[in-house]
């Protein structure tokens, strides 16, 4: 059975394997490179910092795993609630859209709103939905 969001979520089929590999391969370096607060999601700015982690950062794998999981969970909830309760959708992404596309939309939105302290201090789920709704508006 495929879900309406399966094309957006497809990369997560391997998430348990990715997490296990990340922990196994990076555990020694994580003790020095990554502290628990580094993956905190208190604000939109926190989420952006985690999702913007680059491949040369020792925390790249766990940061990208956390970013992917956050985007995935947000969209699954959005899709499930709006479908089940016939609520208005906030994000209307096309078939074939990936989590990487969602991450890119978040980072683009972040660049456009970097000086907006109010938006950056909102809950991360609100910032993410704002970014995705901007990139994939419902018409």
pLDDT in tens, 81-124: 987 678 889 999 999 999 999 999 999 999 999 999 999 999 99
Cα–Cα nearest to 63, from 43, 46, 44: 46
Q: Average pLDDT for residues 124-131, to the nearest whole number?
A: 97
Residue carrying the six token digits 């604000």: 43
Question: Who contacts 84 (Cβ-Cβ below 8 Å, separation ≥6)?
Answer: none
Q: Answer yes or no: is pLDDT of 3 > 80.
A: no
Q: Answer yes or no: is pLDDT of 42 > 80.
A: yes
pLDDT digits (tens, 9 = 90+) for 53-83: 999 999 999 999 999 999 999 999 999 998 7
pTM above 0.85, yes or no: no
């Amino acid at each position: 059975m495929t879900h309406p969001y399966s094309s957006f979520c497809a990369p997560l089929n391997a998430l348990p394997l990715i997490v296990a590999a990340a922990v196994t391969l990076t555990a020694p370096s994580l003790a020095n490179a990554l502290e628990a607060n580094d993956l905190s999601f208190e604000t939109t700015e926190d989420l952006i910092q985690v999702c913007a982690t680059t491949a040369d950062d020792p925390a790249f794998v766990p940061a990208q795993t956390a970013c992917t999981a956050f985007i995935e969970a947000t969209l699954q909830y959005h899709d499930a609630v709006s479908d089940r309760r016939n609520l208005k959708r906030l994000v209307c992404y096309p078939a074939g859209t990936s989590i990487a596309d969602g991450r890119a939309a978040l980072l683009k939105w972040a660049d456009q709103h970097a000086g907006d302290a109010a938006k950056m201090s909102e809950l991360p789920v609100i910032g993410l939905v704002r970014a995705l709704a901007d990139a994939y508006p419902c018409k």
